[in-house]
Amino acid sequence: MTTTSSAPGKVYLFGEHAVVYGEPAVPCAIERRARVTVTARDDDRVRVSADDLSLDGFTVEYGSGSDEQPDVDVPTPLIEAAMGYVEESLEQARDAADRPEAGFDVEIESEIPLGAGLGSSAAVVVAGIDAATRELGVELTPEDVAERAYRVEHEVQDGQASRADTFCSAMGGAVRVEGDDCRAIDAPDLPFVVGYDGASHDTGELVAGVRDLRDEYDFAADTVEAVGDLVREGERALADGDLDTLGELMDFNHGLLSALGVSARSLDNLVWAAREGGALGAKLTGAGGGGCIVALDEGDGVETALSLAPECEQSFRAELATEGVRVE
Ligand code: PMV
């Protein structure tokens, strides 16, 4: 048998980083998906290939039941990171099915750039757990997949992960995450435009940077709390479908993230290009450092302005993905 599952990436309307410290965040799933195809094997080996993961493509093979190290043809930090997520996802599937020795062939295709703030790792983990458990005859609810995917991110990111990315990818739509409390929320059709600078970031490093600042300065801790207040204000604007206020709060959120040291010149330039193109608001999305910004724009001015910005490798309109993880 072979099973393919897919799961969406996401943008943060508000609240990244602060969510790590128990403040609320509102990520929204977008119609850019990762697809993971899993075939259960008769032996305990694992073979992982990816043709399109913003990488040149790679194949890794190893024995799951032994101490054998994955044999990586093209050892780059990004591939190593991707393999960490895949290995832990398969471990979760083995655990859910009580099949500790299960081997798999895994094929990953992703439309989501890696490490760019669009939740690529969460989407691969969510789709991978869903496909691998189904291959072993177990059907998890999206909530169960989200829980197991969170454990994977928590493990791979050394305990520095919130539930936001994984819950959003599993459930789809707009969600609200505050500590362990995760729920789907109603949202109007938000006119997201994404700008991508072509760079990737190390989420763990950026999270650690904010943690250090927060430990060192009370005003940095206050800034994290201010993000929480902003998110609560944003929830009211979201419920009212008030796009102007949402935009204003996105601009404010970008300023607070900048103050916490997680923006970059390229991201600031993209944010300003989006604003000059008529955005209702614009901010970085995800961990920052490099990667993507998200803007709100009902017209086509922002996409045009971003495509003309020298830092912009790609810009695109991102529809809200109402469906989370699904079998293809
Ligand atoms: O850039 P991403 O997609 O890894 O998003 C990270 C979001 C953070 O809030 C910075 C970390 C987290 O686990 O919530």
Binding residues for ATP, as ranges, are: 113-123
Return the closest-CA partner of residue 59 out of 83, 78, 39: 83
Residue whose CA lies nearest to ligand 1 atom number 5: 286
The ipTM is: 0.98
Q: Report phi then psi at 76, rounded to 5.
A: -115, 160
pLDDT score at 66:
46
Terminal alpha carbon distance of the chain: 14
Catalytic residue (one of 67, 95, 165, 180): 165
* Residue 95 alpha carbon to ligand 1 centre in Å: 26
What CA–CA distance (Å, rounded) separates 195 from 292?
5
Question: Does residue 285 sit in helix, strand or coil?
Answer: coil
Question: Does residue 41 sit in helix, strand or coil?
Answer: coil
User: Which domains are delineated in the chain?
Assistant: 3-185 (3.30.230.10), 192-318 (3.30.70.890)
pLDDT score at 301:
97
pLDDT score at 74:
45
Ligand 1 pocket at CB < 6 A:
16-17, 19-20, 117, 119, 161-162, 164-165, 203, 207, 286-287
Q: Using CB atoms within 10 A of its CB, is residue 225 exposed (0-12), middle (13-18) or buried (19+)?
A: middle
pLDDT score at 21:
95
For residue 92, the one-letter residue type is: Q
Return the closest-CA partner of residue 173 out of 182, 164, 162, 186: 186
Please say if 165 is a catalytic residue. yes
All residues at 6 or more sequence positions from 153 whose CB lies less than 8 Å from its CB, including other chains: 85, 121, 122, 125, 161, 165, 166
Question: Which ligand 1 atom is the nearest neighbour of the CA of 17?
Answer: 9
What CA–CA distance (Å, rounded) separates 302 from 319?
15
Tens-level pLDDT at each residue, the chain (328 residues): 899 999 999 999 999 999 999 999 999 999 999 999 999 999 989 988 886 555 555 666 665 544 445 554 445 666 777 788 999 999 999 999 999 999 999 999 989 988 899 999 999 999 999 999 999 999 999 999 999 999 999 988 877 788 999 999 999 999 999 999 999 999 998 999 999 999 988 888 999 999 999 999 999 999 999 999 999 999 999 999 999 999 999 999 999 999 999 999 999 999 999 999 999 999 999 999 999 999 999 999 999 999 999 999 999 999 999 999 999 9
Mutate to test the pocket of ligand 1, among 165, 194, 284 (most ligand atoms within 8 A of CB): 165
